[in-house]
Amino acid sequence: MAKASSKERSSAKYDVIIKAKATTNRIVDISNEIVRFEGNKKGQVTGKHYSGVHWDTVESTMLADGSATLTIRYLHMTNKGESITGTGTGTLMTPNQRGIAKTTAEGMMWTSAPRLSHLNGGRWSVEGEVNIIKETVEVKGNFTTLGV
């Protein structure tokens, strides 16, 4: 049996990998204690069940220490034209001196695509890094579904 390359092995560990870049940011509210803002990102999603384009809107409430709570809404359009939507919540840790912040999030997803119907009502969870300076994000995660 042929041995899997390290790239194949690492991608097989995750149901989903998202790489995205900020397209817009908007400050919603600001005070001496918090900053609430909304950011939109676009990028690529690849994974075990589908690959395609990723769009999201994330509402963040940032505290004075730089950490934040996140409310996430996303849309994935697969390479076959199918849509998957999801919502969730997460946290963003305080960025380090290079502007890198660890993040974790989880939520639910839905689709009207017959091929992906096993994802309906499924849970997703991701972890990864946000580069505050370059305005990029890379997260990897898994799905919990009732189906295949």
Would residue 29 count as lying in a domain? yes
Tell me the per-residue pLDDT of 11-30, one tens digit each, with 9 for 90 and over.
Answer: 568 999 999 999 999 999 99
Number of domains the chain is built from: 1
Tell me the per-residue pLDDT of 56-69, one tens digit each, with 9 for 90 and over.
Answer: 999 999 999 999 99
Tell me the per-residue pLDDT of 34-54, one tens digit each, with 9 for 90 and over.
Answer: 999 999 999 999 999 999 999
Domain with residue 44: its CATH number is 2.40.160.20
Residues near 101 by Cβ (< 8 Å), separated by ≥ 6? 66, 92, 93, 94, 95, 129, 130, 132
d(CA 71, CA 83) in angstroms, rounded, equals 20
Would residue 77 count as lying in a domain? yes
Q: What is the mean pLDDT of residues 111-137?
A: 97
Would residue 8 count as lying in a domain? no
Tell me the per-residue pLDDT of 1-11, one tens digit each, with 9 for 90 and over.
Answer: 444 444 444 45
Would residue 5 count as lying in a domain? no
Task: Work out the percent of the chain whose per-residue pLDDT is above 70.
Answer: 91
Would residue 123 count as lying in a domain? yes
Give the pLDDT of residue 9. 43
Give the domain extent around 138. Answer: 16-144
Per-residue pLDDT at 147 exceeds 80: no
Would residue 73 count as lying in a domain? yes
